[in-house]
Chain A
Amino acid sequence: MSQTVSSFLYSKEHEWVEIIKGNLVKIGITDFAQNQLGDIVFVELPQEGEEITANESMGTVESVKAVSEIFSPVSGKVTQMNGDLEDTPEIINSEPYGQGWMVTVELNNPDELKELMTAEQYSAFVEEE
């Protein structure tokens, strides 16, 4: 059974979004996603200042076996990138919603958040996958 955080929003591509304040959000991948990937050994993330677009690739996460794209759930400018993941990407496995966060983003279009799922909706979505 995969975990969710009730106050976060979720994408169909298994990313989560936490609204920090105003237009600032934090993004990572879900517990379901990290569990599907298995041991994560490498991540490539957008740099600070980079513009990312909703539903487009913003980086990759690699497990021992495979490479997966990280799709940005929102559009905006990256204000911070979690540099700790370069040396210890395995934090994503142990703390997908905490220390394993990936980037913070200043939203271009806050309306995009309406497209995302609640924790409850996401859990139901994952059940069906």
Chain B
Amino acid sequence: MNMLKRTPLFELYAKYGGKTVDFGGWELPVQFSSILEEHHAVRNNAGLFDVSHMGEVLIKGPDAEKVIQYLCTNDSASMQKNQAIYTAMCYPSGGIVDDLLIYKIEEHEYLLVINASNIDKDVDWIVSQAKGDVTIENQSDRIAQLALQGPKAEAILQKLTSSDLSGITFFHFRQDVDIAGVKTLVSRTGYTGEDGFELYVDALDACTLWEKILEAGKEEGVLPCGLGARDTLRFEARLPLYGQELDKDISPLEAGIGFAVKVAKEEDFIGKEALVRQKQEGVSRKIVGIEMVGRGIPRNGYSVYASGSSEEDEAIGYITSGTQSPTLKKNLGLALIQTDFASVGTQVEVEVRGKRVEAITVKTPFYKR
């Protein structure tokens, strides 16, 4: 019996050659053509992703802003309607419940976009912490999400709408845009390090929109893309992944998303005390970029040691994500290591299947457009 969850686009995967895998309980395409081809398509042209597995939670009511301010580390006070911000949602310990996008739909209405594997946990957390006059609706099954990413994303999408997309600036969105006859929330956001859009539609319209975009983008070389390329793209751009760079035991300051923590904001928020303390005292470990000098690819969970350390010495940290960067052709990793070893240019060693291999800490993001 197949218990894996499927998105509304599942029925189309086979048509485009999608090879599916179990991704946190979801049956999702890891690739359609090849991870490398899809990766390069997004960097050079455009790629279309099904990200419908992501969760959407609508919070509305007179106290919606208050609830969001209390739940999230970023400051939503100055948000305008049709603006989005990236934030962390923390436990009192400062560990991360999830990272998410907040969309301000109306004055008292916000849409939170959360990670697929965290939907149940997040909704329980939000409901348990929310106070005041708000309603909280989990709309994850009703809303589908497509991501069109790459330098040609705007040109492709523009063919399908009369709405001037160039007017949507980074981290802003427009509601009820007619894209090929489909009512769409068009957001200039994404998780690949490229320009592009995230498109929110009714689940029933997802297949139509997917096919129309691929048809419209043929000339520009758009490719349907899977999770494999999504991971290499977000990795090169140093965008963190929950469960790897982010976790209940990792704080946003350690994870390098301190920009989304506004300890000076007026309202109290969950985790504030712990995060203020971390800011004052400094964090004892943080995420850094690692480049292999010797032969080997760093992978999630591999231990990192100080250069020249002996067998008895303890690891100074571990790799959170790693692969061979398709754009840079280097074997790169992100590692959560002791701050003493975190400055750029520090020699370290990564244990690759029992063998210590020379590496060096490097600047991130590895790739910037």
Q: Contact residues of A with B, CB < 8 Å?
A: 38-39, 41-42, 44, 60, 62-65, 67, 86
Interface pairs (28), CB distance under 8 Å: A38-B30, A38-B31, A38-B34, A38-B228, A39-B34, A39-B35, A39-B36, A41-B323, A41-B324, A42-B295, A42-B296, A42-B297, A42-B324, A44-B295, A63-B35, A64-B35, A64-B36, A64-B39, A64-B228, A64-B232, A64-B323, A64-B324, A64-B326, A65-B30, A65-B35, A65-B323, A67-B299, A86-B295
Neighbouring A residues of B323 by C-beta, 8 Å: 41, 64-65
Q: Which of chain A's residues have a CB closer than 8 A to the CB of B31?
A: 38
**Complex alpha-carbon distance, A93 and B331, angstroms:** 19
Q: Please give, as numbers and ranges, the residues of chain B lying within 8 Å of A63 by CB-CB distance.
A: 35
Kindly state the separation between the CA atoms of A39 and B229 in the bound complex, as whole angstroms: 11
Number of interface residues of B (CB under 8 A): 18
- Closest B residue to A63 by beta carbon equals B35
Closest CB-CB distance, A74 to chain B, in whole Å? Answer: 22
- Taking the nearest CB of chain B, how far is it from the CB of A34, in angstroms? 11
**B39 to A, closest residue via Cβ:** A64
B353: interface (CB < 8 Å): yes
CA distance A42 to B322 in the complex (A): 13
Q: Determine the distance from Cα of A67 to Cα of B300 in the docked complex, in whole angstroms.
A: 11
Residues in B with CB closer than 8 Å to A67 are 297, 299, 353
CB closest residue in chain A, given B21: A65
Task: List the B residue with the shortest CB-CB distance to A39.
Answer: B36
B:263-301 near A, CB below 8 Å: 295-297, 299
Alpha-carbon distance between A60 and B296 when the two chains are bound, in angstroms: 11
CA distance A8 to B295 in the complex (A): 31
In the complex, given contacts A64-B36, A67-B353, what are 7 additional A-B residue pairs having Cβ atoms less than 8 angstroms apart? A38-B34, A39-B36, A41-B324, A42-B296, A42-B297, A67-B297, A67-B299
Task: Give the Cβ gap from B186 to chain A, nearest Cβ, in Å.
Answer: 30
Please state if A62 and B228 are interface contacts (CB–CB under 8 Å): no
Which chain A positions have C-beta within 8 A of B36?
A: 39, 64
Q: Bound complex: CA of A38 vs CA of B296, how far in Å?
A: 18
The residue in chain A whose Cβ has the minimal distance to the Cβ of B331 is A42
